[in-house]
Amino acid sequence: MAAPTQSAGRPPRRPDELTAKVSPIMEWVDRFWRRVTEGMRADELWRSFITDARSSYRLYSKEVEQERMAGVPKAKHFLRLVGRFFWAVLEKLTPARRVILLVALVFLLSPTVNLNWPSHGDEFRAEGLFADAHFWGGLLMCALLIMEVGDRVVMKRDLQIAKEIQTWLLPAASPLIPGLQVAFSTKPANTVAGDYYDVFPRTAADGRTTYVFAMADVAGKSIPAALLMATIQSSLKTLAAAPLTLSELVQRMNVYACSNSQNGRRFTTAFVADYDPATRTMVYVNAGHNPPILRRRSGAIERLQAGGIPLGILETTPYAADSVVFEEGDWLVVFTDGVVEAENINREEYGEQRLLLVVQMGAELASEQLLGNITSDLDRFVGGAPQHDDVTCMLVKSVGSGQ
């Protein structure tokens, strides 16, 4: 048998010629893929998908009654669950989009048939892809997706503006306070947060300069909590300018919060303190907030609990103040419940004891370094689990006057 020969007039391609043709295509594919994924690795994409899927499931399933009634077979209960879940999804759409979704589902779930239309006695047959019901179902799904994405883009833009405004309300850095190192950080569960923290100077009635420390956590998340957080910040800044004791200041904040709390449904936990550098004394009021941890240089632990109930519940409630005196080497750790209640994929909470352990191990560090240790340890613990609540932490270290 004769050996195969090359086609006449067509010399064999060299490897470098193939590379020259394939390389631009591969580069384009690589650029396209990086643009789609924003440089995320495959494992990061998978974790992001799992997080989004769990978040969506929680959004829809919280409106679905999942308990099986006595005497109802499992198969029937499962079908009921599917139906309720479907309605929970459907009711999130506008009426027009619900119709589009239903028509698209009918087309997608129908048998593979071509559609035929008669025209004035002469049969007009629509042949090929454009006559396939599945094609029209997919097209309607794409149209629905584009409309939903359009809404999401507008909402994301508005949320980004709200985030920028909220960033202006929160301090970028603490003022320089004699004898103290202060560090703080926050990580919202959504684009905007319901957590508030602040450190700012205040002029006392006798002309001395003291410093207000504040942390608040509004019930709920996202836009409603962020709006109420802004009113809490505004009331605190306004009242702090008046010659009030700390108890009077918090009581007036509570009166204001009660007028905006929807009969207590939008309450706010808060820790407000007034620090005098001259005496190293901090007067504080705890309004239902997680008790801040005062870690003494000796290693002893105290919790700052004096105060009262959260703001916005009962207008006439009193708030008691207490005070502590800082000594060199003491630490104050103020945090919201998003820190200690952060969960990993096994639904285990981070917990106050683990937070205390990190503080004890880093007691000799500067405030910024210890805060970095806490956030790193919290991230390691949580892993790929979704964040359920805003996470905010403030560290205050008492140092020598020259530090």
| Strand locations in 45-121 (E) | 116-119
Sequence-ordered list of residues with C-beta below 8 angstroms from that of 12, at least 6 positions apart, any chain:
6
**Predicted confidence (pLDDT) at residue 8 exceeds the cutoff of 70:** no
- Quick one: tokens of 337? 């419940």
- Residue 126: pLDDT band with limits 50, 70, 90: very low
**Predicted confidence (pLDDT) at residue 116 exceeds the cutoff of 70:** no
Query: CA 350 → CA 144, 167, 346, distances in Å?
Result: 41, 27, 11
Task: Please name the residue that has the structure tokens 């942390």.
Answer: 215
Q: Report yes or no: 186 and 195 within 8 Å, Cβ to Cβ.
A: yes
Q: Report yes or no: 303 and 324 within 8 Å, Cβ to Cβ.
A: no
Output Rg (C-alpha) for the chain, integer angstroms. Answer: 31
Chain Cα centroid distance, residue 55: 11
Write out the DSSP string of 177-191: -TTEEEEEEEE-SSS
**Predicted confidence (pLDDT) at residue 159 exceeds the cutoff of 80:** no
Domain regions of the chain by residue span: 77-117+125-169, 170-398
- Residue 48: pLDDT band with limits 50, 70, 90: confident
The percentage of the chain sitting over the pLDDT mark of 70, rounded to a whole number, equals 87
Average the pLDDT over 190-195 and give the result. Answer: 75
**Predicted confidence (pLDDT) at residue 12 exceeds the cutoff of 80:** no
- Category of 396 on φ-ψ map: left (φ > 0), alpha (ψ -120 to 50) or beta: beta
Q: How many CB atoms lie within 10 A of CB 232?
A: 24
Average the pLDDT over 41-53 and give the result. Answer: 80
**Predicted confidence (pLDDT) at residue 393 exceeds the cutoff of 80:** yes
Q: What is the pLDDT of residue 318?
A: 92
Average the pLDDT over 140-169 and give the result. Answer: 79
**Predicted confidence (pLDDT) at residue 22 exceeds the cutoff of 90:** no
**Predicted confidence (pLDDT) at residue 20 exceeds the cutoff of 70:** no
Q: Cα separation of 230 and 212, whole Å?
A: 17
CATH code for the domain defined by 170-398: 3.60.40.10
The three-class DSSP label of residue 215 is strand
Sign of torsion over alpha carbons 85, 87, 89, 92:
negative
Q: Report yes or no: 139 and 170 within 8 Å, Cβ to Cβ.
A: no
Of 61 and 173, the structure prediction assigns the larger pLDDT to: 173
- Residue 124: pLDDT band with limits 50, 70, 90: very low
Q: What is the DSSP letter of 4?
A: P
**Predicted confidence (pLDDT) at residue 190 exceeds the cutoff of 70:** yes
Most confident among 102-106, 124-128, 258-262, 298-302 (mean pLDDT): 298-302
Q: Cα separation of 90 and 113, whole Å?
A: 27
| Strand locations in 171-292 (E) | 180-187, 195-203, 209-218, 268-276, 281-287
**Predicted confidence (pLDDT) at residue 375 exceeds the cutoff of 80:** yes
Sequence-ordered list of residues with C-beta below 8 angstroms from that of 318, at least 6 positions apart, any chain:
247, 251, 308
Of 73 and 353, the structure prediction assigns the larger pLDDT to: 353
Average the pLDDT over 236-257 and give the result. Answer: 91
Of 70 and 313, the structure prediction assigns the larger pLDDT to: 313
